[in-house]
């Protein structure tokens, strides 16, 4: 069984769960037009390492329609430390919509690119991720799971 700790390095895991940077979700529409949207809240499925997001009226959004149609998405988490030290993680992979009482978008990593997460800010790590199906993995995490909320979301998404 794939565990989230097997998907992410220790530095990536700490960045996603402790720093809670703003995320940007990229999808592609039926006509091939790219679409990028900021996300203020997301979580990590502790079993598979998938990135999850929920939201008000999520099934009515373009990102929901795009993912339902293509089954693919990319998400970038990033920030910049002073004076100018960019860092972040890009995750590309399979995406699915999960209908139900708590509609969820789930992105299962197939490719991870991380930069600037070491002490020097220079480390770059790019790799493909091997995943396997996990029974029951399409259920959204419980409220007690690992969830990131960006500082912008905490301030009401200015």
Annotated domain spans of the chain: 4-148
What's the pLDDT score for residue 134? 39
pLDDT per residue, tens digit, the chain (158 aa), is 456 668 999 999 999 988 888 899 999 999 999 999 999 789 999 899 999 999 878 999 999 999 999 999 999 999 999 999 999 999 999 999 999 999 999 999 999 999 999 877 778 989 999 754 433 444 444 433 444 443 333 333 22
pLDDT of residue 138: 42
| Alpha carbon distance 149, 23 (integer Å) | 10
Q: Euclidean distance between the first and final Cα of the chain, in Å?
A: 40
| pLDDT for the residue numbered 65 | 97
Residue 41 host element (H or E) = strand 41-44
* Cβ density class 106-124: b for 16+ within 10 Å, e for less: bbbbeebebbbbeeeeeee
pLDDT at residue 4 in the model: 63
- HSE, CB side, 13 Å, CA atoms: give it for residue 156: 1
Q: State the pTM of this model.
A: 0.80
d(CA 35, CA 115): 23
Is 1.25.40.80 the CATH number for 4-148? no
Residues 6+ apart with CB under 8 A from 16: 8, 44, 77, 89, 148
The predicted pLDDT at position 158 comes to: 27
Instruction: Tokens for 104, please give them.
Output: 């969820």
Structure tokens at 139: 């259920």
Which residue in this structure is represented by tokens 């995490």?
141
DSSP 8-state assignment for residue 143: T
């Amino acid at each position: 069984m794939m565990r989230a700790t097997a998907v992410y390095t220790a530095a990536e895991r700490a960045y996603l769960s402790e720093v809670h940077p703003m995320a940007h979700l990229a999808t592609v529409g039926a006509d091939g037009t790219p679409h990028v949207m900021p996300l203020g809240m997301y979580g990590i499925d502790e079993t598979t390492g998938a990135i999850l997001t929920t939201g008000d009226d999520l099934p009515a959004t373009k990102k929901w329609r795009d993912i339902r149609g293509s089954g693919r998405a990319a998400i970038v988490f990033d920030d910049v430390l002073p004076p100018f030290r960019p860092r972040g993680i890009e995750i590309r992979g399979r995406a699915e919509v999960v209908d139900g009482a708590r509609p969820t978008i789930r992105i299962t990593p197939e490719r991870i690119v991380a930069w600037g997460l070491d002490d020097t800010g220079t480390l770059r790590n790019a790799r493909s991720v091997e995943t396997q199906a996990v029974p029951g993995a399409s259920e959204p995490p419980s409220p007690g799971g690992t969830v990131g909320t960006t500082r912008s979301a905490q301030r009401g998404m200015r």
